[in-house]
Amino acid sequence: MAFNLADLAEHTADVVPDRTALICGDRTVTFGELDARANRLAHHLAAQGIGERDHVAIYSYNSLEYVEAMMAAYKLRAVPINVNYRYVEDELVYLFDNADVVACVYQASFGPRIHAVKDQLPKLRHLIEIDDGTEAPVANGAVAYEDAMAEGSPERDFGPRDAGDLYILYTGGTTGMPKGVMWRHEDVWRTLGGGIDFVTGERITDEHQLSRVAGEAVPPNGLVLAPLMHGAAQWGTLGGLFKGVTNVLLPRFDPHLVWDAVHRYGIAVITITGDAMARPLIDALKEGSPDGPYDTSSLVAISSTAAVFSPVVKDQLFELLPNLFISEAVGSSEGGFNGMRLVEKGKTSAAVGDGGGLINVPLGPDSKIIGIDDKPVQPGEIGRLARGGNVPIGYYKDPAKTAATFIDVEGERHSVPGDFARLELDGTMTLLGRGSQCINSGGEKIYPEEVESALKAHPKVFDALVIGVDDERWGQKVAAIVEPRPGEEPTLEELVAHCQTKLARYKVPRELHLVSEMPRQPSGKPDYKRARLLTEADHAQTTNTDTVKDPA
């Protein structure tokens, strides 16, 4: 059994060739057409000498071409490299050099950036440009995407592949420089793509099982909101290709476009990244369309992963969509799936800890929480989240970081990327956040996600991020970056009083920065580098919370 990503997608294309695979904007492609177009592009790349273990960058917004380029690379046993479309020249040079990119498929609107860096990248030898309506594309010596398609054969006549072919996902670089997480195809498929059932933990043993199921019944349509440069969107899309799901991709996130797509395409399942997407969706649903309320009758479930999903936000979704199923999952680029739960109406809070607003899920079958001695902690204790079983090979060209992250726990190799969690008395775990963002104030550890969840429950707050800033007395203090709701401007004193009803006093913010737009990645994840620069440049509201007494 190969358990190779290209093979798995091809099996489904053979079973349901005429079913619509992807919809993006006003364009659609069937499973058969997607397979043939990916074959054409793969043959074009092969003619340029690109093959096994060569790295092909994809620099694009969500598009059909993005998925075709990914699949073309996998067919050749090459490796697609995700590029953050916000990157400017210096960041592109770092990423392309670090990833040893030899070819790049890019949208014409990004041509000027490619033009500015290509002479600094001697390994980059082939460019393919996607026509996106740009009036005067820069002359980069690139082949037009559709010309590359026309040159390649639609036949699937590639050599055999295996489960050890390479998948690389570059992290968002929210806390440092982006790192390429390397996985074997089988390992990443089992961890993120459905090779192990997320609910039952059952392992698939037949590479044709998913395609057979796809042929037996038509699954409900899905909508993947995050950008394809983000792992959650890649696996929402790839998982759909393996299971015969018709997935809708939006060229960009717009909450009104989301609800329009739900109505137009009968979307049953939406995949989001926590509050950053859920809050705008709630506001847009309340506003409705110019023609009246949105028709959400087809919508069955919303699934959130990879970000904080606050109780107040889940409560608002249940209020607007009372028959909705909501699930939340814990995962990361390095660790994969660590656990999930179905959220019940009226029980949206984890009901543990001071804030009661953090993600609380049953531990996945291969997950555990370990202490500083690298041994499992006892119930009630805090430690690092670790996952065994199918784990990554390591970080590309970074053996030191690999050795620090992938360690031996009880005789088995585990991924320990730095997320902290508390093991609860009932055996579940409460995710506290990435240890690198933990705030140490007077010896007390404060996890930003807990404070953010409390802040978001204030009626004047639309979005919030929390970081630690230097403090002469305590070492660090809690600084809140808040995007207010339109027409509102909360004061620090208001937010302190509110947070003290939900958090211990040492956790409440002592510094406030009001912003018109929250510093976030396109995926919705926090952009801590931009957040820190903002606090350093901005004049903040400050207070001495030592003078504020705990509520009676």
Poorest-pLDDT segment among 345-359, 458-472, 478-492, 499-513: 345-359
Residue 352 has pLDDT above 50, yes or no: no
The pLDDT, as a whole number, for residue 353 is: 43
Determine what percent of the chain is predicted with pLDDT higher than 70.
Answer: 94
Read off the pLDDT band of 495 (50, 70, 90). Answer: very high
Distances, alpha carbon 49 to alpha carbons 76, 138, 224, in Å: 11, 25, 33
The conformational region for residue 262 under phi > 0 = left, psi -120 to 50 = alpha, else beta, is alpha
Q: Which residue has the higher pLDDT, 411 or 309?
A: 411
The conformational region for residue 524 under phi > 0 = left, psi -120 to 50 = alpha, else beta, is left
Residue 355 has pLDDT above 50, yes or no: no
CA angle centred on 502, ends 499 and 508, rounded to 5°: 35
Q: Which residues pair with 392 in a beta bridge?
A: none
CATH 3.20.20.10 applies to domain 29-186: no
Poorest-pLDDT segment among 200-209, 367-376, 389-398: 200-209
Read off the pLDDT band of 175 (50, 70, 90). Answer: low
Q: Which CATH architecture has domain 438-547?
A: 2-Layer Sandwich (3.30)
Q: What is the average per-residue pLDDT within 528-549?
A: 69
Read off the pLDDT band of 551 (50, 70, 90). Answer: very low
Q: Which residue has the higher pLDDT, 543 or 159?
A: 159
Q: Which residues pair with 415 in a beta bridge?
A: 387, 406
d(CA 14, CA 1): 17
The pLDDT, as a whole number, for residue 545 is: 46
The pLDDT, as a whole number, for residue 356 is: 47
Q: What is the average per-residue pLDDT within 263-289?
A: 92
d(CA 414, CA 53): 25
The pLDDT, as a whole number, for residue 437 is: 81
Q: pLDDT for 123-167, tens place per residue?
A: 999 999 999 999 989 999 999 999 999 999 999 999 999 999 999
Closest residue by Cα to residue 80 from 105, 55, 109: 55
Q: pLDDT for 33-82, tens place per residue?
A: 999 999 999 999 999 999 999 999 999 999 999 999 999 999 999 999 99
Q: What is the average per-residue pLDDT within 461-474?
A: 88
Q: Where are the domains of the chain?
A: 29-186, 352-434, 438-547
Read off the pLDDT band of 306 (50, 70, 90). Answer: low
d(CA 98, CA 66): 21
d(CA 484, CA 313): 15
Read off the pLDDT band of 547 (50, 70, 90). Answer: very low
For strands 412-415 and 406-409, give the pairing.
antiparallel
Q: What is the average per-residue pLDDT within 196-220?
A: 91
Q: Which residue has the higher pLDDT, 447 or 132?
A: 132
Q: Which CATH architecture has domain 352-434?
A: Roll (2.30)
Contact 326, 300 (CB under 8 A): no
CA 265 from centre of chain: 24
d(CA 490, CA 499): 13
Q: What is the average per-residue pLDDT within 318-328?
A: 93
Closest residue by Cα to residue 5 from 67, 71, 83, 58: 71
Q: What is the average per-residue pLDDT within 185-192?
A: 95
Read off the pLDDT band of 246 (50, 70, 90). Answer: very high
The per-residue DSSP string of 21-68 comes to: EEEETTEEEEHHHHHHHHHHHHHHHHHTT--TT-EEEEE-SS-HHHHH
H/E element, 439: strand 439-441
Q: Under DSSP, is residue 531 helix (H, G, I), strand (E, B) or coil?
A: helix
